Amino acid sequence: MSIKEIDAENLTPRELNSQIKEFSPQCDKIIIKNPNAKHYLAAGVVDDIEIEFDGSVGYFAGTMCDKAKIKINGNSGWFVGDNITGGEIIVEGSAGDGAGQGIYGGNVVVKKSVGSRTGEIMKNGTIIIGGNSGFMTGIFMMGGRIIILGDVGEDVAESIIRGVIYVKGEIKSLGHNAKLEELTFQDTLELDEVLTQYDFDIDDYSNFKKIVPKSTRPFYGH
């Protein structure tokens, strides 16, 4: 495996991203040392490559990426994985608001807790939160799935159009156009498959709640 290591200590985000895009077609993996919570890191990477950040990152990490597999060995700021179309982003720590905002595909996985508005206007793909998620998780959700292994805050799935949200912990309140539905055996199989893939060990799925839209046309009548 061809591995390139970059020390980001004295690089601006623009300089670091230029180096990432320069080396992405040439390497199998890039390791970024000292990311120091800088913003917009690994933005717009479309090569099939592994990128590992050895530390925390700032806002919009991995925004608008495709194919890339990004691992963050720390925390992330707001909007991690914003508008990705494929690949995966794994945050070993916590993340801020808007994790997985607007994603079209791929997987965004945060091992600990996140802020509010997780998966806002997402169209497809999967978001997994290992801890809690804040208010308006899944607002204006248009497709895909969100899996919350902790608790979720107020107005979850506010104005949801399509998609599904699974919550293992407590739900503070449902938003407009959201309803609870019974978990099916197929749901359990799919949850077990994806959670096992990311090393979440769940013995019992009976406590999971399933949130779906009441109507696919909530603003235009039924």
Tell which phi-psi region holds residue 144, choosing left (phi > 0), alpha (psi between -120 and 50) or beta.
left
Q: Please, are residues 96 and 115 in contact by the beta-carbon 8 Å criterion?
A: yes
Per residue in 8-49, pLDDT (tens digit) is 999 999 999 999 999 999 999 999 999 999 999 999 999 999
Q: Give the pLDDT confidence score for residue 179 in this predicted structure.
A: 98
pLDDT of residue 14: 97
User: Do 179 and 161 touch, CB atoms closer than 8 A?
Assistant: no
Q: Above pLDDT 70, what percent of the chain?
A: 98
What's the pLDDT at 1? 81
User: Is the model's pLDDT at 222 over the cut of 80?
Assistant: no
Q: Is the pLDDT of residue 218 over 90?
A: no
Residues 108, 142: one domain?
no
From 93, 112, 131, give the residue that closes a domain.
112
User: Residue 220's pLDDT band (boundaries 50, 70, 90)?
Assistant: low
Task: Say yes or no: 86 and 180 in one domain.
Answer: no
Q: CA–CA separation, 122 vs 111, rounded Å?
A: 19
Q: What is the C-alpha separation between 220 and 222, in angstroms, rounded?
A: 7
Number of domains the chain contains? 2
Structural Rg of the chain based on CA atoms: 17
Tokens found for residue 26: 């040439």
Q: What's the whole-number mean pLDDT along residues 55-76?
A: 98
**What domain range is 149 assigned to?**
117-222
**Given this model, what pLDDT does residue 216 score?**
78
On whether both 125 and 218 belong to a single domain, the answer is yes
pLDDT value for 221? 55
Report which of 48, 69, 58, 66 is spatially closest to residue 16, judged by C-alpha positions: 58
pLDDT in tens, 89-137: 999 999 999 999 999 999 999 999 999 999 999 999 999 999 999 999 9
**Residues 66-84 pLDDT 10s:** 999 999 999 999 999 999 9
Question: Based on the domain organization, do 51 and 126 belong to the same domain?
Answer: no
Give the length of the chain: 222
**One domain, residues 104 and 156:** no
What is the SS3 assignment for the chain? CCEEEEECCCCCHHHHHHHHHHHCCCCCEEEEECCCCCCCCCCCCCCCCEEEEECCCCCCCCCCCCCCEEEECCCECCCCCCCCCCCEEEECCCECCCCCCCCCCCEEEECCCCCCCCCCCCCCCEEEECCCECCCCCCCCEEEEEEECCCECCCECCCCCEEEEEECCCECCECCCEEEECCCHHHHHHHHHHHHHCCCCCCCCCCCEEEEECCCCCCCCC
Query: Are 87 and 183 within one domain?
Result: no
Is pLDDT at 162 greater than 80 in this prediction? yes
Q: Of the residues 85, 112, 139, which one is the last residue of a structural domain?
A: 112
Residues 3 and 96 grouped into a single domain:
yes
Query: pTM of the entire structure?
Result: 0.96
Strands 142-148, 162-167: pairing is parallel
Q: Which of 112, 145, 166 is the last residue of a domain?
A: 112
